Structure 1
Amino acid sequence: MANLWNNIVGDKKRYKQFKADVQALPEAYAQTLTALQTYIWNFAKSGAMMDVLEEILHMFQESAAENVPVQQVIGDDPVEFAENIMTQYPEELWLIKYRTRLRQQVKKAEQL
């Protein structure tokens, strides 16, 4: 029970720190990361995407420090950017699991 409590408190602190770090970004970066977060949470299994979001945060922090425009970081399509990042974390996404299952089912059906 103590481990569960420590995990909950630790996750809450981690998320609060993440939110504070996002707010410290230049406005364009903060708004973009908030939008990406909203999109990514739609595909995450039980809040497991903090590693992904923190990776994006660090990328944005470095780019902001170097005055790189947000669009240059994410490219022309923010969905493509988000999905490219998410594919690096298939174990954290229910979407990847279901895509894989669908591909396997169709492949199996084709063999009948």
Structure 2
Amino acid sequence: MSEADKTGGIIARVIGPKKRWRAYKARVKELPGSHRTAVEAIERYLMHFVPTDGDSNASMFDDLADLFEQAVADDTPIRDIVGEDPVEFADTFAENYSDGGYVPARARKQLTEDIDRAAGDATGTT
């Protein structure tokens, strides 16, 4: 097996089929800025869970996009989606798709800061 085949297999295991991943990323790109920032922060955090198959991960990210697209359509603020504890939200969300995984404290802190920024909670800016 070539190195490219090995890398492609790892990528598929982490994010699912490339076509599906690209479609998800295109959907996220269409979200308004703050909602897109929140989804990207949650996405980075969820990458630590890496379910054992790409289909589980692809479904998880598709559902995340669905959730935020619906929130935009309903004019739902980010805090109404993720609550006051984005780590708890992301952990609970991921539990539906995997047996869990180790998430470093740094990743938890980064997610909280990113959501604060996206929701306009940090330094009074959006």
Taking structure 2 as the reference length, the TM-score comes to 0.62
- The one of the two structures with greater contact order (alpha-carbon pairs below 8 A, sep at least 6) is 2
CA distance in 1 between partners of 2:93 and 2:69 (Å): 16
Aligned residue-pair number: 88
Instruction: Tell me if 1:34 matches 2:40.
Output: yes
Instruction: Tell me if 1:71 matches 2:79.
Output: yes
Determine which structure has the larger helix proportion and give its number: 1
Pairing of 1:1-112 with structure 2 (within 5 A): 11-45=17-51, 48=54, 49-91=57-99, 93=100, 95=101
Task: Return the letter of the residue paired with 1:84.
Answer: T
Q: CA deviation at 1:46?
A: 5.6
Task: Return the letter of the residue paired with 1:32.
Answer: A
CA distance in 2 between partners of 1:88 and 1:52 (Å): 8
Identity of aligned residues (%): 26
Q: Please tell me whether the aligned partners of residues 25 and 64 of structure 1 are also in contact (alpha carbons under 8 angstroms).
A: yes
Stretches of structure 2 that go unaligned for 5 or more consecutive residues are 103-126
Q: CA deviation at 1:45?
A: 3.4
Taking structure 1 as the reference length, the TM-score comes to 0.69
